[in-house]
A and B are shown apart, each in its own frame.
Chain A
């Protein structure tokens, strides 16, 4: 029974999001079926939680019926689309195992086995273990439990449960989704509310697969998904209720669709990308910072180099969608006078910490957090010099590098260094960047191999 309730809890945001994605797509068929489902859930989670937040702002009690209200128009719209044949319920085809030689099939088998073991271990830990780590207990699960207890928002600043009690300034996307899961479950239990961690862990792999499959073989796409899902710290977070991988997931989704828009220029893609960037700011403040530091400058550069009305329009759509989506939260921040940043003003001064470089090097290359990711990343940056003019790959790399700098620079050039020295935040900050970076790496290697293949064919033709 609990499982059924949980499935309903996940199905409702999925349907809401799916409808929005279908609206953005129109009749152009720009998403594969599996991809669309993953998009639907990811965006639906953001839309539904922001809607629940608005209910809280206007003092409407959180109940199953009040929180699920947006799904009913979505049901009607989808029924109409099924009737008119715009969408079909036939499952999409799975091509992972098709078309490989024996070696490829073995590799696919090993990768799927390794991913499955990790996923099952994460599900096991998530189902059997209470929330354990500090941020989940003091922020994400705590706020969710407070919202669930009150079935609403406490807006009295003097009350200890004001905007979730702990760190009222933190965005409420994930806590409110956990509240929603508890509402569907009928009581507060640890295992259903913490399912979101491994669901997002799984979705990261699904997204990378579909994101890469657009341009590369199923095997390359699967390797990309595997690299993200087997990154040690990322996989570890998949079992425990922290939010860093969720930021990483949404940022990656936005980057993938924005890059696709740079290549294909379909307005549906910019809308979906904007959706991802909007939700990332609703998960953690760092999401907004990475968007402003990594994505926005790249977008502006692209607009400056491609001056056309269509590009400008798409840029405006992106910004307006993000701002529009986040407006209830941004207005609340102003009305309730939340500080601009969680950290105190003494953090905002420039000071160079040269020792930070060695500490970062040790974390990147000598701890067990990243496998050999950073070496692969550096090598990919060298390879990209050879192919930087191909299919706008330079913008993808720039987005990535700027996001990485945005995440690292505070540790090297501000008093934030103290958090680097104790090692509590740097690796978690990297989890927000790495999924998009893995997409970039796979895209670079894929393009480079294609380039070599073209050169080989040309040589053979010349002979």
Chain B
């Protein structure tokens, strides 16, 4: 049997291993699915500004560092070498670190710092709770540290369970196939899918390096067939490139599919756009309700201000971050888009601004009327 056939056979066997070993569901030692608000009973947090359970997800609005501590007396035995399996989504760049309280002694802070891709997808991490011998004790309480930038953290489920190769591989596959979600920062850099806690591209780079090193060794040892070895190494590199490219093409397809599903397919009033929500409905509203030579105030910043300025040009925008007003002309229109600080006061028929920090309120317009709206929080106000 030649070398390449051996490699193929080994790969096939490796792929079949999960089928023979633990594809069957493992028994959870403890789990929280957050299907009902009662399930967060006993959990307490530090650095938490607000929390709720919604659609089976535990949502926490947190500051730079959030600590979430489980109910006590979990009494999880150590013998089966338990893992923490957590499925979560960060809405700001964050990391996760875990600690637990044994029956006796100090809390144990696990060394693993998990930093998932910041890609608006749920991620699943498996964290071994008892890697070292000195950890041999009962787990009485679990703690999760979410560090990084302030923002929402969503937890779909937390499980403490013995390692299950089948479920682990399923989770890794799901991680690998996570969709790429379009957002305005994506033009600068693309994430590589994750596989076994590393980026897929780092695996490809390692594999390519391995091929090149092996190729170089064989190349310098042989005198006769160098052209064939060089060509084979080149071909192997091309195959690795193609493998990554096929996964990448699938990501590209997912972006196109998301645009089709949210923007092209729905009828006019229901169109949304990835990361911009119903912004284009606002654009249509302006097109239909503000004359093309008019000027308007806008009370939102990035990513909306620069986009509105472009899409409704030649109408002229006036806002803190972006402005192209012609100074001698009046600015009779006010465009309110998802800004709870600005309210229409029906008594005075004026727009009222409330400073959320100081609580101060003041009027920002002359009397006028609402001339068009998408919803109660998004409308056009025209001064008399």
Contacts and interface: CB of A to CB of B under 8 A. Distances in A.
Interface of A: 110, 114, 117-118, 121, 124-125, 128-135, 137-138, 141-142, 145-146, 149, 159-161, 165, 223, 227, 230, 232-233, 235-237, 239-240, 242, 363, 365-372, 375-376, 379, 423-425, 427-428, 445, 448-449, 452-453, 455-456, 459
B326 A160 contact: yes
B263 A424 contact: no
21 contacts: A121-B255, A125-B255, A125-B256, A125-B259, A129-B259, A129-B263, A137-B311, A145-B310, A149-B314, A223-B238, A230-B241, A230-B248, A232-B248, A239-B255, A240-B187, A368-B200, A369-B189, A371-B245, A371-B248, A372-B237, A452-B230
A116 B263 CA distance: 24
A240 B256 CA distance: 12
B227 A453 contact: yes
Given A137-B306, A365-B201, A459-B223, 18 more contacts: A110-B242, A121-B255, A121-B256, A125-B255, A134-B303, A137-B311, A149-B313, A232-B190, A232-B248, A235-B248, A365-B205, A367-B192, A368-B201, A371-B201, A372-B204, A375-B209, A376-B237, A423-B189
A121 B231 CA distance: 32
A236 B192 contact: no
A424 B201 contact: no
Mostly, the A contact residues are helix
A363 B310 CA distance: 31
B200 to A, nearest CB: 8
B311 A130 contact: yes
Which 5 A-B pairs have CB atoms at the shortest separation, nearest pair first? A368-B192, A160-B324, A452-B227, A133-B187, A368-B190
A402 to B, nearest CB: 25
Interface in B301-351: 303, 306-307, 309-311, 313-314, 316, 323-326
A13 to B, nearest CB: 25
A128 B201 contact: no
B208 A375 contact: yes
A235 B209 CA distance: 24
A372 B245 contact: no
B226 A160 contact: no
A185 B216 CA distance: 56
Contacts of A160: 316, 323-326
Contacts of B255: 121, 125, 239
Contacts of A227: 241
B135 interface: no
Interface string B177-210: 0000010111111111100000111101100110
Given A369-B190, A427-B189, A117 B249 contact: yes
Interface of B: 182, 184-193, 199-202, 204-205, 208-209, 212, 223-227, 230-231, 234, 237-238, 240-242, 244-246, 248-249, 251-253, 255-256, 259-260, 263-264, 273, 280, 303, 306-307, 309-311, 313-314, 316, 323-326
Contacts of A427: 188-189
Given A125-B256, A372-B204, A452-B227, A367 B191 contact: yes
Contacts of B326: 159-160
A372 B238 CA distance: 10
A142 B310 contact: yes
Contacts of A448: 230
B259 A235 contact: no
B313 A146 contact: yes
B220 to A, nearest CB: 12
B115 to A, nearest CB: 12
Contact of B306 (A134, A367, A425): A134
A372 B189 contact: no
A131 B307 CA distance: 9
Nearest to B316: A160
Nearest to B192: A368
Given A160-B325, A372-B241, A449 B201 contact: no
Nearest to A453: B227
Nearest to B311: A130
Contacts of A370: 201
A456 B323 CA distance: 69
A271 B123 CA distance: 54
B309 A456 contact: no
Contact of A142 (B227, B231, B246, B313): B313
Nearest to B280: A130
B193 A128 contact: no
Contacts of A237: 187
Contacts of A456: 224-227
A361 to B, nearest CB: 11
B238 A118 contact: no
A223 B234 CA distance: 11
A345 to B, nearest CB: 24
B261 to A, nearest CB: 12
A160 to B, nearest CB: 4
B264 A242 contact: no
Nearest to B306: A138
A217 to B, nearest CB: 12
B33 to A, nearest CB: 32
B199 A165 contact: no
B204 A449 contact: no
A268 to B, nearest CB: 33
Contact of B190 (A133, A145, A230, A236): A236
B245 A230 contact: yes
B289 to A, nearest CB: 19
Contacts of A367: 189-192, 199, 201
B346 to A, nearest CB: 35
Contacts of B230: 448-449, 452
Contacts of A129: 259, 263, 273
A159 B314 CA distance: 13
A179 to B, nearest CB: 13
Nearest to A117: B249
